[in-house]
Amino acid sequence: MAIKAGIFGDGTNLKDRYIPNHKKLAEQVKHWKKLGLRVVLTSGTWDLFHVGHAQYLERAKELGDLLIVGVDSDKKVKIRKGPHRPVVPQEERVSILCHLRHVDAVTLKPHDEKPNMLIKLVRPDILVMSKTTKHHKSDIKEKQKYVGKVVLLQPQSQTSTSAKVRLLHTSGADRFAKEVANRIPALMEEVMQHLAK
């Protein structure tokens, strides 16, 4: 008989899946491990969610029984990626992840957290990291102290959120430049008329 409630239910169950309190998350993880469940942890920004994100999470979930996803807070993303990011605010990014069948629990990672804090808290059986993020060997070695195994996943699609954001900025700038270029002759004539008076 399958359990159809809480994180094991088919619905979003935001109140069960989103665990902002890290102490409560640690208690939940201990409980899940006592049940013999293999815990997988991954984290990231998850901004402008796309098919590559979905496939990455699906691959991560295949490695264990429960998938916990850390979400970088808005402030953390701004510090790492610049003032125009994230495009999607943290509340929406958390909610989107809670809608995915492969994600069992979600937590927010604050900007001021110490390195590897979530990893040390959860101590997952499997830590999944993306190969697209440039990880130093020493950083991976440090993380391995707190996990059963580190798995580096290949990108699951050619889609890149950062590339999409750059394209939006560029296309917006191009459109603006064309509008300005089209208006320059009329503006110049207006200025010339004004000076001739």
Minimal CA–CA distance to 164: which of 152, 172, 155, 156?
172
pLDDT at 11: 67
Q: What band does 168 get if pLDDT is binned at 50, 70 and 90?
A: low
What integer is the mean pLDDT of 48-67?
94
pLDDT of 42 strictly over 70: yes
Name beta bridge partners: 42: 69
**Of 10 and 1, the one with more pLDDT:** 10
What integer is the mean pLDDT of 29-54?
94
pLDDT at 71: 98
What is the CATH class of 6-157?
A: alpha beta
pLDDT digits (tens, 9 = 90+) for 65-94: 999 999 999 999 999 899 989 999 999 999
DSSP helix/strand/coil, 143: helix
pLDDT at 192: 65
pLDDT at 148: 96
pTM above 0.85, yes or no: no
Contact 105, 12 (CB under 8 A): no
pLDDT digits (tens, 9 = 90+) for 108-117: 999 999 999 9
pLDDT of 197 strictly over 70: no
Residue 127: phi, psi to the nearest 5? -110, 120
pLDDT at 181: 60
pLDDT of 45 strictly over 90: yes
What integer is the mean pLDDT of 110-129?
96
What integer is the mean pLDDT of 100-120?
95
pLDDT of 137 strictly over 70: yes
DSSP helix/strand/coil, 171: helix
Look up tokens 């979530």; give the residue. 118
Query: 174: which 2 tokens?
Result: 């191009």
Mean pLDDT over each residue of the chain, to the nearest integer: 85
Domain map (residue ranges) of the chain: 6-157, 160-197
Contact 90, 20 (CB under 8 A): no
